[in-house]
Chains A and B, each alone.
Chain A
Amino acid sequence: MMKDVIVIGGGPAGLGAALEAKKAGATSVVVLERDRELGGILNQCIHNGFGLQEFKEELTGPEYAQRFINQVKGEDIEVHLNTMVLDVTEDRRVTVLGDEGIQEIRGKAVVLAMGCRERTSGAIDLQGYRPAGVYNAGMAQRILNMEGYQVGKEVVIYGSGDIGLIMARRMTLEGAKVMAVVEVMPHSSGLYRNIAQCLEDYDIPLLLRHQIEEVHGKDRIEGVRISKIDEQWQPIEGTQQTISCDTLLLSVGLIPENELSEKARVSLDPRTKGAVVKSTMETDVPGIFSCGNVLHVHDIVDFVTEESRIAGRNAARFAAGALPRGKEVLTNPGKGVTYTLPHRIMLEDPDGVTLFLRSDVIYKKARVKVKEGERIVKEKRERLIVPSEMVQINLSPEDLSSLTGEIIVEIEGEEND
């Protein structure tokens, strides 16, 4: 079986890519999804705040996903649910396990859109016992919002990532008491609006520069011992206190799920933990594209959609033998930037190029600069840049045509912690 474009993952990234591939002329497009429904992680995000950029309204996660699902249904796109992709090869042979058993599908182009998973207690060396009641925040979100069960009554949240913050509010609304959100960094790693709407509105304390030293309780968690930490991450003696709780939610980061990408021999970036990509979202394996949370962790789904369109369009072009090739230049993170994406930009890209980047600390009155040597190619002002919120900057085909060599992306501004 040969298909023009095979999309692995039916979350917003996969759906966006499939739709755009179809629009760009691919005749046979397949979406493979291991879950029992399309929509990916959005299905469990029943809070609102999705789609401000895409639809100019505030939707819930399932509503946002449904708009894409409806569009996919309206197109001649094949969707296989309960279908797990087991393997992808460099020459784009995709092995799946589904209702038909094990099958192999070949793709002229493949889009990787597998999303990400949460870091766990094992990854952060959580000390103490390993009792019931320690959940990843996203897992708890699924149990509450999709299965309809409460996981506990007195909650501590470790890590102030968005999922943790959203769950602080959600569990409060369901009658639990959130004792505190404990964060090791000097600033929250969640969106500002979530700190305000999920913690401040409910008087939930956010303890910055604090760590959990130990988990108490053997069968079920009974509490945590926390302490303040200094600049060297060492506990400050005398600041220890015990908070009693029957539940601990971990919101300690997401990791792109790239096991399949590795099987296909796609090179990964140690910083993003996702593929190294060109501005067409093509990886270093020809004909294999990557987008969404599997490429790098996004905080806002609208950006995922935008990125997935680039991937889908170019996958269709590749399948048709019409992906433009030409001179490419490297992009490098400079001062104030932890990473930039894509890693290479194609100068003849007819669509222009969107650069995605993240800052290292908080900047006020900031300027984002794209430079070639000392020449400023593009500059953008931002009132505020925080590490938790991705920044975008667009380069038009004209900007691209002026380039000859590598570019550097920098942030300048008043640094703030």
Chain B
Amino acid sequence: MYDVIIIGAGVIGTAVARELSKYQGRVAILEKNPEVCQGTTKANSAIVHGGYDARHGTLKGKLNKRGVELYPGLAKALNFPYQRCGSMVLAFNREEEQKLWALMENGKKNGVEGLELLTGEEVRQIEPGIAPEVTKVLYAKNAGITCPFNMTFALLENAMENGTELFVNTEVKGIKEFGEGLSLFTPQGEFQGKMVINAAGVHSDRIAEMIGDRNYKITPNRGEYRILDRKAGDTVSHVIFQTPTPDGKGVLVAPTVHGNIIVGPTSDGIDSPEDTRTTKAGIEKVDRSASKAVPKVPLRESIRIFSGIRASVEGSDFIIEPSKTAKGLMHLIGIDSPGLASAPAIGEMVVGEIQERLSLEKKQNFIEKRRAIPHFEALSNGEKEGLLKANPRYKKIICRCEMITEGEILEAIHRRGGATTLDGIKRRVRPGSGRCQGGFCGPRVLEILSRELQIPMEEIRKEGTDSKLLSGKLKGALK
């Protein structure tokens, strides 16, 4: 029997796992997909929000602020990308300027430091790309950007190194209470735990339903995006928002930690939590809105469009509370934006609650740090030489757009909770995320996956369970 079972391996589930791995006890994460980080965490703006936007007095307000405080230390210990680049909210007229005032007041109440109101003139000095019509800007120095994939893999790897067990392809289909805890039913068998954490993202209301908690309702809300080539990377150096509307924070133009530019998202209520389609109307809206804030944003340098789904709930605050019907079950529901920014703080809070119930002992031998997979291109020439000597596999460039070597791909496969799919490799070390989107390296990565995992090429998947890439060997093929 496990002490704690976490349902869902997104950034929230893995943040809880990592925090929990500081304590003794048996912990498992169950994930229905073949890979970690395949839900909402794979498709968002990657912003570590400053904390001024979430309404004062809400869980969001509290956890966002605390999350921002935890980021620098966490990113450093676990070696995932995080840049405190600062964010700007643009106002184009009087009415919007007033909203900036209100935002700043709210931020101050949340305890956010480093908020400033700047004039259009002042702003164009530090961010020349923004529209000449901008009259005022709320500047948040503490806002930043991260890589949600790398962050999640880092949290997971470190949790696993400290003993957490991961089960992929393990969808929870039913929950039952018994004497000491809860039973989870999955196609891989039954899992029993003293406590269960429901971190199932857009599906967390369904998990709640399984035990009879019917008072939660997630309304899926879709956000569509465009990613621009690294060539466009110097378009802006801060996260550029527009004044929020009742629909949310609106379309942003932001740098990514990998040197691209991201524009989006939209905000549209949809019927299905799985509906990650992009639409013509959505992408047109992104383009229009992004150009309003940053007139010269080079939309033609687009290399990918995609969308993600927010787990919105009524009242629009995070719901983090014990089940009303089952003892030992904690629900994390409605973790939409700023869920990523708050993730470290959510981990802290949830583990606090677990501790109240289970009083686990601290580990003496907790391993706090994790080494990232070396990114060859980002190293200095001296470091490159060193790496090449230590590991000749780094000589072989597999992805030419992003300059990813075979050495990086091998690590992505062989680390704890390693990649088993094409997209799993892409999210960990980036081959296929460049301008040719895997046109050249795709077949090579397939080959490496097949060789290293000893599964036939035809069995390798792009991402989801039914996403096999090849339909079979050619009849006359030699190999």
Bound complex: CA A129 to CA B275 (Å): 8
Q: Does B2 touch A at the CB level, under 8 Å?
A: no
Partner of B466, one of A118, A142, A220, A247: A220
Q: Does A108 touch B at the CB level, under 8 Å?
A: no
How far in angstroms is the closest Cβ of chain B from A37?
14
Q: Which residues of B contact A146 (CB under 8 A)?
A: 443
Partner of B464, one of A144, A150, A218: A218
Q: Is the CB of B473 within 8 A of A148?
A: yes
> Restricting to B461-479, which residues have a CB under 8 Å from any CB of A?
461-475, 477-479
How far in angstroms is the closest Cβ of chain B from A259?
8
Given A101-B388, A127-B277, the answer on whether A150 and B463 have CB atoms closer than 8 Å is no
Contact mask for chain A residues 90-110; partner B; CB cutoff 8 A; 1 contact, 0 none: 000000011101100000000
Bound complex: CA A117 to CA B401 (Å): 10
In the complex, residue of chain B having the shortest beta-carbon distance to the beta carbon of A117 = B436
Q: Is the CB of B278 within 8 A of A147?
A: no
Q: Does B216 touch A at the CB level, under 8 Å?
A: no
In the complex, residue of chain A having the shortest beta-carbon distance to the beta carbon of B387 = A101
Q: Which residues of A contact B437 (CB under 8 A)?
A: 120-122
Q: Is the CB of A125 within 8 A of B381?
A: no
Q: Does B274 touch A at the CB level, under 8 Å?
A: yes
Partner of B439, one of A125, A138, A246: A138
Given A34-B400, A120-B439, A218-B276, the answer on whether A152 and B471 have CB atoms closer than 8 Å is yes
Q: Count of chain B residues with Cβ under 8 Å from any Cβ of A? A: 52
How far in angstroms is the closest Cβ of chain B from A246?
7
Given A101-B385, A214-B277, A218-B276, the answer on whether A149 and B477 have CB atoms closer than 8 Å is yes
Q: Which residues of B contact A219 (CB under 8 A)?
A: 462-467
Q: Which residues of A contact B303 (CB under 8 A)?
A: 120, 122-123
Q: Does B319 touch A at the CB level, under 8 Å?
A: no
Q: Does B457 touch A at the CB level, under 8 Å?
A: yes
Q: Is the CB of B470 within 8 A of A151?
A: yes
Q: Does A143 touch B at the CB level, under 8 Å?
A: yes
Q: Is the CB of A118 within 8 A of B397?
A: no
Partner of A132, one of B447, B462, B478: B462
How far in angstroms is the closest Cβ of chain A from B378?
13
Q: Which residues of B contact A49 (CB under 8 A)?
A: none
Partner of B278, one of A128, A132, A152, A218: A128
Q: Which residues of A contact B227 (CB under 8 A)?
A: 122
Q: Is the CB of A150 within 8 A of B439?
A: no
Bound complex: CA A34 to CA B440 (Å): 12
Q: Which residues of A contact B388 (CB under 8 A)?
A: 101-102
Q: Does B283 touch A at the CB level, under 8 Å?
A: yes
Q: Which residues of B contact A142 (CB under 8 A)?
A: 443
B contacts, CB < 8 Å to A = 227, 274, 276-280, 283, 302-306, 381, 384-385, 388-389, 395-397, 400, 403, 435-440, 442-443, 447, 457-458, 461-475, 477-479
What 3 pairs across the A-B complex have the smallest Cβ distances?
Answer: A148-B477, A132-B462, A122-B304
Told that A142-B443, A150-B473, A219-B467 touch, could you supply 9 new A-B pairs with CB distance under 8 A? Answer: A102-B381, A120-B436, A120-B437, A126-B305, A128-B278, A132-B467, A132-B469, A147-B443, A220-B468
